[in-house]
């Protein structure tokens, strides 16, 4: 098996590690480098992985290095361990706003680098991750990276780095859009007389059911919507209201704003 090193052991790193182990990765092939003893003890106890507080020694014989640190400290972390990363390794960044160009400036042009954009449902094994590799990354490296992120849900490779920002707008930030919709549906349900618990359960179960239908059906979302919409019925009336209020324009503005912010972050963190 490949030697896989996580730099950082927070929520996202922990959920990826948990998914990997549940999918057959050996815990002895995984090392996590974190600065605090409490975190090291937790990771070792929960996952039986190797732990350390020395980034450079951790990556010295790694095949895969997953950088799971905050964007604000990525530069210093990368520069500190750049000379210790083996030429054979692929480095995976899961930080939003850090470009391949910046990573290459910190790690060297010859290093294989992948940008990954997982989302928070990875915590429950239903994540969606977009991946982009620089030209140095070979097929075998892409395969092991795919296997890692498939352990926590769906993953796909995009053709250009710019498309990672589109992934951020669709799936990276996307869970928050649905949480906001659920929040509103629950609130209105309560205003219409349902209890808080019933309104929440109905809204979340409806979202779950709709998502499973969309995921498993050969029909498009538009076709599924049409199946639910009886002429002159309650659903049609609600959808007409969305149309009148131009819900599509609101979503388009929100998602393009997310892309614009991701682009600005790339500029900010490259300085």
Residue 2 reports pLDDT greater than 80? no
CA distance 108 to 102: 10
Average pLDDT over residues 129-149: 96
The full set of domain ranges for the chain reads 4-159, 174-266
Average pLDDT over residues 225-243: 96
| Cβ count within 10 A of residue 196 | 11
Average predicted confidence (pLDDT) for the chain: 94
> What is the DSSP secondary-structure string of 188-236?
HHHHTT--HHHHHHHHHHHHHHHHHHHHH-SS-HHHHHHHH--TTSHHH
Residue 269 reports pLDDT greater than 90? no
> What is the DSSP secondary-structure string of 226-267?
HHH--TTSHHHHHHHHHHHTTHHHHHHHHHHHHHHHHHHHHH
Residue 4 reports pLDDT greater than 80? yes
Average pLDDT over residues 172-201: 97
pLDDT in the model for residue 128? 96
Residue 34 reports pLDDT greater than 80? yes
Residue 47 reports pLDDT greater than 80? yes
CA distance 107 to 119: 25
pLDDT in the model for residue 123? 86
pLDDT in the model for residue 7? 97
Tell me if 91 sits within 8 A of 67, measured CB to CB: yes
pLDDT in tens, 79-122: 999 999 999 999 999 988 899 999 999 999 899 999 999 999 99
Q: Which CATH superfamily is domain 4-159 in?
A: NAD(P)-binding Rossmann-like Domain (3.40.50.720)
Average pLDDT over residues 121-147: 95
Residue 136 reports pLDDT greater than 60? yes
| Whole-prediction pTM | 0.90
% of the chain at pLDDT higher than 70: 99
Confidence label for 1 from pLDDT (cuts 50, 70 and 90): low
Torsion angle of the four alpha carbons 172, 176, 181, 182, in this order, in degrees rounded to the nearest 10: 110
pLDDT in the model for residue 97? 85
Confidence label for 271 from pLDDT (cuts 50, 70 and 90): low
Query: In the numeric block, which tokens belong to residue 93?
Result: 């960044």
pLDDT in tens, 59-79: 999 999 999 999 889 999 999
- CATH classification for the domain delimited by 174-266, as one of 3.40.50.720, 1.10.3730.10, 1.10.760.10, 3.30.559.10: 1.10.3730.10
% of the chain at pLDDT higher than 90: 90
């Amino acid at each position: 098996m490949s030697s896989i090193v996580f730099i950082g052991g927070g929520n996202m790193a922990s959920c990826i590690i948990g998914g990997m182990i549940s999918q057959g990765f050996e815990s002895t092939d995984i090392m996590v480098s974190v600065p605090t003893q409490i975190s090291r003890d937790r990771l070792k106890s929960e996952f039986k992985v190797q732990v350390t507080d020395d980034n450079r020694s951790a990556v010295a014989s790694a095949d895969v290095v997953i950088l799971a640190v905050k964007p604000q400290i990525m530069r210093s972390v990368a520069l500190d361990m750049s000379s210790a990363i083996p030429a054979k390794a692929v480095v995976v960044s899961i930080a939003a706003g850090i470009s391949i160009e910046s990573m290459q400036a910190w790690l060297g042009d010859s290093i294989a680098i992948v940008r990954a954009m997982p989302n928070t449902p990875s915590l429950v094994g239903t994540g969606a991750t977009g991946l982009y590799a620089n030209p140095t990354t070979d097929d075998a490296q892409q395969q092991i990276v795919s296997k890692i992120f498939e352990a926590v849900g769906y993953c796909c490779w995009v053709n250009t780095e710019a498309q990672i920002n589109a992934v951020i707008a669709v799936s990276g930030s996307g869970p928050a859009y649905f949480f906001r919709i659920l929040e509103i549906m629950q609130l209105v349900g309560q205003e219409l007389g349902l209890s808080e618990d019933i309104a929440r359960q109905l809204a979340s179960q409806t979202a779950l059911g709709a998502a499973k239908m969309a995921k498993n059906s050969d029909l498009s979302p538009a076709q599924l919507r049409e199946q639910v919409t009886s002429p002159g019925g309650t659903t049609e009336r609600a959808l007409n209201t969305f149309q009148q209020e131009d819900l599509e324009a609101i979503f388009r503005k929100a998602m393009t704003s997310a892309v614009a912010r991701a682009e600005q972050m790339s500029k900010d963190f490259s300085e």
